[in-house]
Amino acid sequence: MKLQHKKNSILREKANAYIITVFDKQSTIHKSFKEIDKKINNKITKLLKDNKLKTSVGSISEFPVSGELNADYLFVVSLGEKKQFNIDVLRTQTANVFRKIDSMKLNSVAFSLEEIMGSTNKKNEAYQAVSEGVFLSQYSFKKHKTKIVNKDTSIKDISIHVSGEKNSNLIQKMLERGKIFATSANLTKDLANEPANYMTPTKLAETALEIADSHGLDCQIINKAAAKELGMGSYLSVAAGSNQEPKFIILKYSHKSAKNKPVALIGKGITFDTGGISLKPSAGMDEMKGDMSGAATVLGVMNAIGQLKPKINVVGIAPCTENMPGGKATKPGDVVYAMDGQSIEVLNTDAEGRLVLADAISYAVKEKCSAIVDIATLTGAMMISLGSVRTGVFANNDVLFEKINKASQKSNEPIWRMPLDDAYGKMIISNVADIKNVGDREAGSITAAKFLEKFVGKTPWAHMDIAGVMTIKQSKGEWTKGMSGNPVRTLIHMICDY
């Protein structure tokens, strides 16, 4: 899709679809739309005056206008009440109308933002939100559908129109920025939606190398032998039952003017999770192809960072492996040693995410990273706590948490801070090793976070448990059914604003 700002009036643009916006309880249309309305016999004005035009938030009205305008259809998109208008509404409604346009197999769209730009003091954010809404809404995963010939969106050309805006270069920059945010989230969705027989640790490593080559990042892949030399016994204990070679991915972005030690983003990369010897029930196990969503998130974020070039040093780390049963698999009751020397009693091999993260965090600490944020589909307990609405965030540092919190508000990917009381740490003290990888049934997501905290030392750290938000059950707005890509845009914002 080509998305560009044009200085000319929307009426001069020939397109399959025109889009204009209205607010709820609006009795008149914006002056720039009056010419459009005049050409269609004042249809919109009449409907507004008679309260017959749907203007509640979420409403989209469609009018055939072929022969009256340079378009086949006019879409009137409601943004709800003006006093409650925000960037999230704009992103969602943009996504909704573009979903509708794509379903009608229309190819070209002209979108007037006159009403919106006169109603917000966050114009740059608004342009970015429109772009995000467009590109997020057109995501689909159809590569294995053999009967579908055209697997891409029908929409090819989109023009954005705002009269009187002189800085076309800045507008185009914000549109491109939104595209980078959205397509990077879509990359994460592609990786997480891919079946596990295709998305192996090796394939993830190849993807990381492609990202590095495309955007000038440094990439290092630590194989099984090298991981063993580094003492990554915790990580390798998870890989023991699989025939797939584990890959420990390191992607580095450096900015010449940045003076900070790198911020580490660490993503759990279990490309398929059977539970190991502590085997999961078969029902729903197919979704465990998405247990590498943390790693996919890191790759998506690094893909964006490589294009946006923020003035900060960042390292993305993704410990990738399968978790499989087998003759060489780790058994409940085994003791393994992490990279930092701590001993771990493995009571449940289905609590494997924390084992691979332990060595990844230890690696980041050894590299003297200035802060660590790990992202993982870690616990079913988080799904019970917060459902599919919010990501649970644990943090040992208020400043770091607030950076994530502000970023999540920009992206509309909600989070909630969870507790890290010392009392929870006592639940993972082992009788035979330093710590055990699970506590009792109580506070499962918190004890998992306390386990990770054991490897952090004094480094500012946050843990994002994305188990509840991993999937989307129904396509709506900017969200498409399948793997969610949450919290890619949050983390891009966090790094860019750091």
* pLDDT tens profile 327-345: 999 999 999 999 999 999 9
**Which structural domain, as residue segments, surrounds residue 37?**
2-166
Known catalytic membership, residue 354? yes
Alpha-carbon dihedral angle through residues 404, 308, 482, 238, given to the nearest 10 degrees:
-70
Give the containing element (helix H, strand E) for 212.
Answer: helix 201-215
Confirm whether 469 is domain-assigned. yes
């944020």: which residue's tokens?
373
Task: Give SS3 for 67.
Answer: coil
Together in a domain, 305 and 221: yes
pLDDT of 151 > 80? The answer is no
SS (H, E, C) 391-454: EEEEECCHHHHHHHHHHHHHHCCCEEECCCCHHHHHHHECCCCCEECCCCCCCHHHHHHHHHHC
Together in a domain, 233 and 117: no
Short-list 394, 388, 351, 397, CA closest to 374: 394
- Using left for φ > 0, alpha for ψ between -120 and 50, and beta otherwise, residue 96 falls in alpha
pLDDT tens profile 201-259: 999 999 999 999 999 999 999 999 999 999 999 999 999 999 999 999 999 999 999 98
Residue 476 per-residue DSSP state: B
Confirm whether 182 is domain-assigned. no
From the candidates 6, 173, 252, 280, which is the catalytic residue?
280
Together in a domain, 234 and 102: no
C-alpha pair distances (Å), 255 with each of 265, 397, 492: 16, 25, 16
pTM of the model: 0.97
pLDDT tens profile 3-45: 999 988 899 999 999 999 999 877 677 777 888 999 999 999 8
Known catalytic membership, residue 105? no
**What's the CATH number where 260 sits?**
3.40.630.10
C-alpha pair distances (Å), 186 with each of 136, 139, 207, 281, 477: 7, 7, 14, 30, 14
Cα separation, 144 vs 289, whole angstroms: 15
C-alpha pair distances (Å), 251 with each of 216, 233, 301, 302: 10, 22, 11, 8
pLDDT tens profile 443-464: 999 999 999 999 999 999 999 9
Confirm whether 179 is domain-assigned. no
pLDDT computed for residue 26 by the predictor? 74
**Maximum distance among all alpha carbons in the chain?**
82
- Using left for φ > 0, alpha for ψ between -120 and 50, and beta otherwise, residue 442 falls in beta
Number of domains in the chain: 2
**What's the CATH number where 94 sits?**
3.40.220.10
From the candidates 91, 99, 289, 354, which is the catalytic residue?
354
Together in a domain, 125 and 191: no
